[in-house]
Structure 1
Amino acid sequence: MIDLSEIEASQVDARTKGMPGEIASLPLSAIGAQGWNVLREDLPLPLAVMRESAIRHNGDWMRQFLKATGAEIAPHGKTTMSPQLFARQIEDGAWAITIGSVEQLQVARRYGFPRMLLANQAVGAQNQRYVVNELKRDPEFDFYCFVDSVDLVHQLSSAVQEAGLERPLQVILEGGFVGGRTGCRTYEEGMDVARAVKAAAPHLSLRGVGGYEGLLRVPSAEESTKRVETFLNGLIEMALGCDREGLFGAGDVLLTAGGTVFYDLVTARFKEAPLSRDFKIVTRCGCYLTHDSGEYVKRFEQIRERSPWVDRFGPGPQAALEVWAYVQSRPEKTKAILTVGRRDISFDSAMPTPLKWLRPSPGATVADLQPIGPDHVVTGLNDQHCHLAIPEDSPLRVGDMVAFGISHPCTTFDKWQVICMVDDAYNVTSAIRTFF
């Protein structure tokens, strides 16, 4: 049973990044009752916030997509590492939560999430012991992990036997590609692993085939599509081979792939898989919930071009995550320095995008927000400073507030222990905690 009460009761105070310096300790659940408003400067900047309306819109949009495709979603929890957002995704209908490490699994299990998919290899004695002991402790825990080698199959089987687990550890055969990350590179390698899993019964059970196609992106959208479809065909071929040889265990076969770039291709191709038994399509895109103002804007336009039918769901995902900062210096005519840096905001995919600005004043509201044009460009970040190229006639001056959109939400989330949720007037309504 999912129980977030420990998180809601956890304390925040002036030591918590993003919290006002004068507050005493208060529970996370009380943040929404403080009457804070970002535009009134009730909180210090830099400050990461999530817009509640965009989160709600994105959840509704994905729910429509899944209904239309017949797929399930196990959103990747590594994006946010926030059990409160995991719970929201489960309430929206997510089949499971995906994680990328056993450390992330430990966080999710602390709060009672009942079905988890480790889209990675569980290697190492401590990690394997934790998994099998958790399965033994909780008979209702439904867990799946990837395997891509006979060696790992033997290790997992031994861990199950040593723990005395009386039900099989459910594994998914992972297919990969040359130059990629994990995953069997050839059909023959994959079938050897699948047969090893079958031979390890009743300690292991092969429940499906999966992989990750996101690294097949190249500058050409057409070539990217071709490479992804070829990879998906290879996964289906492995699944058909396992089906023919009777290697799958009991239950629906799982076909799983799909980051936040090609989930339309994944669901369409998997739907056509000619398996002889029932199967479930599970996409694992994690960034849909918050979207962004950079990388995934471009990628969603490619989805619309490939699959124009998604337009019937209305406007696509919206950017929910923003990071606000002050202009702290205008040391040169065409340069401003702002109070946000690598410790606060994503920069691995692209530099932040200035979205809008505000000159603080008593009673400031969203009506006072002004757009920032494309002639204001982030040229670099230091730990605590942002270098912004500006035109000589830029209206920005010291003390002004600037909201930045981000590219690739994962690496903004991991810089904040607490992130405030805001309504469309930038009133703080609640907060989430992350566990990185």
Structure 2
Amino acid sequence: MDVPEVRVDWRSKGFWLPDETLTAAELAADKPSIFGGRFTWPLLVLRRDAAEANIATMAAYVRRHGWELCPHAKTTMAPGLLARQTEAGAWGMTVATANQALVLRRLGVDRVLIANEVLDPTALRWLAEQGAAGWEVHVQVDSVAGATAAARAAGAGRLRVLVEQGHDQGRTGVRTLGELEEVARVVAAAPGLEAAGVTAYEGQLQTGPQVDAFLDEVLTGFSRLRAAGLLRDDPIVSAGGSAWFDRVVERFAPLAGQATLVLRSGASVTHDDGFYRERTPFLRVPQEGPLAAALDIWAQIISVPEPGLALAGMGKRDAPFDEGLPVAMEIRRADGSSAPVTGVEVTKLNDHHTYLSTGDAEPAPGDLVRFGISHPCTAFDKWRHIPVVDEDLRVVDVLATYF
């Protein structure tokens, strides 16, 4: 895939470049420390070694189990990281929207799966045209209306379609096997559509037994469509968020040899210090992992207005907060010394302020705090450019994001 040259300047949050423009290659050649004056706070960084280890871990995991990995690109939308995942053997890339699919098409990603129903006729026509021109793009449908819209837009083009099965109180996807077959029949009968397979998302379920029961229902749905002759000869079966992919791999094992099995887990590329640290499947199957948190945000203490309270110059514009607040990991004093923090807790975020309960710690104005994040899927979109750092916190690359 094509990774466009990255240029940073005064528009790049976290970089301090009031009068110059630099390429990622120029920064990498210089290897500046993040504490050396070219950066300011807050600053999101990606730790290279951790991210590369995560990519290798997931690539090895799917290979061992006979699966393909189509990681969700919406986690990062960073061409540099998507390219590394592709180089490691990713089968394709998953996206959430037609707009994201357009970005990946322009980046030269050969195979894309849109994990949502697309109903916009303009986008559907373009997707069908690109499919007819040789691009392998897959869309999902979970209703007769969606299948009909895809058929109407396809015309003389081509759309590969996955019928999505869901669960009660879940996200998208048909709720019954009867609906699954009804939608699949519309797809199979439409000249411009190809019934490529079945897809599902189990990530919102809370317990292992709930996940297993749902995945078994998906197996039943796939078998029903296959027996009815409603799927192509080499179908796809796809599932897998980042919290239950071990259950997906185990429950779908009987499909080996019957379908191309595609895992869509995306958050594993950086993991985290919150939501996924507590929910990673590798806690259940530690011999298969592990993953390491690869994202840090450095922020400066800007006020200590009363005992037990400190405020850091970081907020909702900078850090994810939808699946847990940032986690204080380390404090760096003005003299350059640093130490892990204990007893320091983030209690809330404003737009540009983080409230810290300091416990027995005594942060001072000007100190830097390294925060781990919770939920990488809402971290990358807040940053146009992200420095990639080595173990010495020297910049070795810069990622651009395409949200």
Do the aligned residues in 2 keep the contact of 1:262 with 1:303 (CA within 8 Å)?
Answer: no
1:332 alignment partner in structure 2: 306
User: Is 1:294–2:262 an aligned residue pair?
Assistant: no
**Aligned partners of 1:151 and 1:411: how far apart in 2?**
31
Q: How many residues of Structure 1 are paired with residues of Structure 2 in the alignment?
A: 403
Do the aligned residues in 2 keep the contact of 1:339 with 1:385 (CA within 8 Å)?
Answer: yes
Deviation at 1:23, TM superposition (A): 4.4
User: Is 1:431–2:398 an aligned residue pair?
Assistant: yes
The two structures, once aligned, show a CA RMSD in angstroms of 1.6
2:78 alignment partner in structure 1: 82
Say which of 293, 297, 304 aligns to 2:283.
304
Rate the CA distance shift 1:154–1:22 in 2: closer, same or farther, 3 A: closer
Say which of 93, 118, 136 aligns to 1:122.
118
Do the aligned residues in 1 keep the contact of 2:41 with 2:300 (CA within 8 Å)?
Answer: yes
Partner of 2:398: helix, strand, or coil? Answer: strand
Partner of 1:379: helix, strand, or coil? Answer: strand
Partner of 2:216: helix, strand, or coil? Answer: helix
**Aligned partners of 1:33 and 1:105: how far apart in 2?**
33
Say which of 161, 172, 177 aligns to 1:187.
177
**Aligned partners of 2:186 and 2:131: how far apart in 1?**
22
* Residues 271-302 of structure 1, C-alpha deviations (whole Å, 9 max, x = no match): 1238xx631111100000100000101112x6
User: Is 1:244–2:263 an aligned residue pair?
Assistant: no
2:376 alignment partner in structure 1: 409
Say which of 14, 26, 51 aligns to 1:18.
14
After TM superposition, list the pairs within 5 Å mapping 1:211-250 onto structure 2.
211-217=200-206, 224-250=207-233
User: Is 1:131–2:127 an aligned residue pair?
Assistant: yes
2:328 alignment partner in structure 1: 354
2:97 alignment partner in structure 1: 101
Partner of 1:215: helix, strand, or coil? Answer: coil
Partner of 2:379: helix, strand, or coil? Answer: helix
Do the aligned residues in 2 keep the contact of 1:377 with 1:388 (CA within 8 Å)?
Answer: yes
TM (norm. structure 1) is 0.89
**Aligned partners of 2:334 and 2:253: how far apart in 1?**
53
Do the aligned residues in 1 keep the contact of 2:388 with 2:399 (CA within 8 Å)?
Answer: yes
1:157 alignment partner in structure 2: 151
1:372 alignment partner in structure 2: 341
Deviation at 1:159, TM superposition (A): 1.1
1:143 alignment partner in structure 2: 137
Rate the CA distance shift 1:132–1:152 in 2: closer, same or farther, 3 A: same
**Aligned partners of 1:81 and 1:144: how far apart in 2?**
18
**Aligned partners of 2:166 and 2:229: how far apart in 1?**
22
Rate the CA distance shift 1:38–1:26 in 2: closer, same or farther, 3 A: closer
Do the aligned residues in 2 keep the contact of 1:36 with 1:43 (CA within 8 Å)?
Answer: no
Do the aligned residues in 2 keep the contact of 1:77 with 1:99 (CA within 8 Å)?
Answer: yes
**Aligned partners of 1:93 and 1:113: how far apart in 2?**
13
Say which of 359, 364, 367 aligns to 1:400.
367
Deviation at 1:84, TM superposition (A): 1.6
Do the aligned residues in 1 keep the contact of 2:59 with 2:69 (CA within 8 Å)?
Answer: no
Deviation at 1:26, TM superposition (A): 2.2
Do the aligned residues in 2 keep the contact of 1:328 with 1:399 (CA within 8 Å)?
Answer: yes
Rate the CA distance shift 1:360–1:123 in 2: closer, same or farther, 3 A: same
Partner of 2:268: helix, strand, or coil? Answer: coil
* Residues 308-332 of structure 1, C-alpha deviations (whole Å, 9 max, x = no match): 3xx334x610000000001111110
Deviation at 1:157, TM superposition (A): 1.3
Partner of 1:435: helix, strand, or coil? Answer: coil
1:426 maps to amino acid: L
Deviation at 1:29, TM superposition (A): 3.5
Say which of 200, 203, 207 aligns to 2:192.
203
* Residues 112-140 of structure 1, C-alpha deviations (whole Å, 9 max, x = no match): 1110001111111121122112223x32x
Partner of 1:272: helix, strand, or coil? Answer: helix
Gaps of 5+ in 1: 218-223
Deviation at 1:41, TM superposition (A): 4.5
Deviation at 1:233, TM superposition (A): 1.0
Do the aligned residues in 2 keep the contact of 1:341 with 1:386 (CA within 8 Å)?
Answer: yes
* Residues 62-93 of structure 1, C-alpha deviations (whole Å, 9 max, x = no match): 12211221111100011011122111111111
After TM superposition, list the pairs within 5 Å mapping 1:11-50 onto structure 2.
11-50=7-46
2:356 maps to amino acid: L
Say which of 167, 170, 173 aligns to 2:163.
173
Do the aligned residues in 2 keep the contact of 1:352 with 1:404 (CA within 8 Å)?
Answer: yes
Deviation at 1:31, TM superposition (A): 2.6
Identity of aligned residues (%): 35
1:378 maps to amino acid: V
2:53 maps to amino acid: H
Gaps of 5+ in 2: none
Partner of 2:255: helix, strand, or coil? Answer: coil
Q: Which moved more, 1:283-292 or 1:228-237?
A: 228-237
**Aligned partners of 2:121 and 2:236: how far apart in 1?**
27
TM (norm. structure 2) is 0.96
